Amino acid sequence: MVATIAETDESAESEGVIDSHKRREILSRRPSYRKILNELSSDVPGVPKIEEERSEEEGTPPNIATMAVPTSIYQTSTGQYIAVAQGGTIQISNPGSDGVQGLQALTMTNSGAPPPGATIVQYAAQSADGTQQFFVPGSQVVVQAATGDMPAYQIRAPTAALPQGVVMAASPGSLHSPQQLAEEATRKRELRLMKNREAAKECRRRKKEYVKCLESRVAVLEVQNKKLIEELETLKDICSPKTD
DNA sequence: CATGTCCTGCGTCAGACACT
DNA sequence: AGTGTCTGACGCAGGACATG
C-alpha cells in the first residue's frame, strides 16, 4: 500500500485549500493503472493485462466477480520458466529437465484470500428484459432500463419479479415547478454519487491488482537475480579454480 | 479496561483526461 | 464544448494492537 502523508495540523487548516490547490497544480496526473499495467505487459511478455471494464458488463455471468491473482509464466535469460501461480506460489522449472537445484518454489507473503467482509459489487450481464443490473449493498438491485433518452433506475428486491420501491425516472419535458427541478437535481446528484462510489471501488480494486502485479514482478526478478548470481559464481569457479 | 496509535476501507470532491 | 470516467486527496469510521 502506498502511504500518503497528510497534513492534519490544525494550524494548517486555513492553508489547506491553497496547499491542495498548489499540490494539484504541481502534480501531473498519472496514467491509469490499467494503462500502466498494459504498458508493462507490452514490455515484459507474461505480465497480465488488466481486463477492460466492458468484459464485466457484456459477457460474464451474473455471479461474484472474484479478484484473482494472475497466473503468469516468465522465461528467464537462461531458458528457465518461472510461473506465478494463483496462490502466490512461484515455481521455477527447466524445460526438458527434471528440475532445478536450489530454490524451486516460494510463497509470497501477501498472498491469500481476501479479507472477510470485503465489499463485493456484483455486476450482472444484460438480462432478458433488456435491462442492465448491478447489485448494491443491502440486498437490493438497481436496474437500469435499456431504452429511452433518460435512464430509468429502479430499486428492486433481487428476487422480486415485479419492480418495487422507487422509480426514479423522469422525462425532462415534464419538469416545470421549482420543486420538480430540485428533485431532478437531487436525483442527478444521487446518481452521480452512486456512479462515483462504484468507480472509486473499482479504482481501488485496480490499484490493488496493480500493486500485486508489481510485487509479483519483484518476486520474480529477485528469483531471477539470485539464479544469475549463482550462475556467475559457478562460472567464476570454473574459469579460475583455486590453486591451493 | 480505557486510551492512544496505526492501518484499512469507504464516500466524496476536484481536477485531469477521454470520448462524442 | 459538453459529458462521462478515472484517480489523487481528504476526512471519517471501525478494527487490531500496544500500553498503562
* Residues A65-76 pLDDT 10s: 333 333 333 333
Which positions of chain A have pLDDT values less than 50? Answer: 1-30, 45-46, 49-173
State which nucleotides on strand C lie below 7 Å from a protein beta carbon.
5-11
Closest-approach nucleotide to residue A28, Cα vs C1': B16
The reply to whether the CB atom of residue A197 sits less than 7 A from any atom in nucleic acid chain B is yes
Chain B positions with an atom below 7 A of a protein C-beta are 7-17
CA distance A86 to A72: 9
> In whole angstroms, how far apart are CA A132 and each of A67, A97, A155?
22, 52, 12
- Nearest nucleotide by C1' from A35 CA? C6
Nearest to A211 by CA among A116, A111, A92: A111
**C1' of B19 to CA of A237 (Å):** 61
Place of cell 498519472: A30
pLDDT score of A232: 96
* A211 CB-to-strand C distance under 7 Å: no
Tell me what pLDDT residue A29 has: 39
Q: Is the pTM of this model over 0.75?
A: no
Is the Cβ–Cβ distance between A166 and A156 less than 8 Å? no
Contact between the CB of A14 and strand C at under 7 Å: no
Assess whether A113 (CB) lies less than 7 A from strand C. Answer: no
Q: Tell if A1 CB is < 7 Å from nucleic strand C.
A: no
- Report CA(A211)–C1'(C6) in Å, whole number: 17
Distance CA A21, CA A15 (A): 10
Q: Check residue A226 and give its pLDDT.
A: 95
A168 Cβ contact partners less than 8 Å away, ≥ 6 residues apart = A152, A153, A154, A187, A191
Residues A128, A129, A131, CA angle at the centre, nearest 5°?
Answer: 100
Sign of the alpha-carbon dihedral angle for A104, A109, A110, A114:
positive
- Point out the residue nearest to C11 (C-alpha to C1'): A8
Which pLDDT does position A57 carry in this prediction?
33
CB proximity A1–strand B (7 Å threshold): yes
Nearest to A83 by CA among A226, A231, A220: A220
Look at the alpha carbons of A120, A123, A127, A132 in this order and tell me if their dihedral is positive or negative: positive
CB A79 within 8 A of CB A95: yes
- Determine if strand B comes within 7 Å of the CB of A29: yes
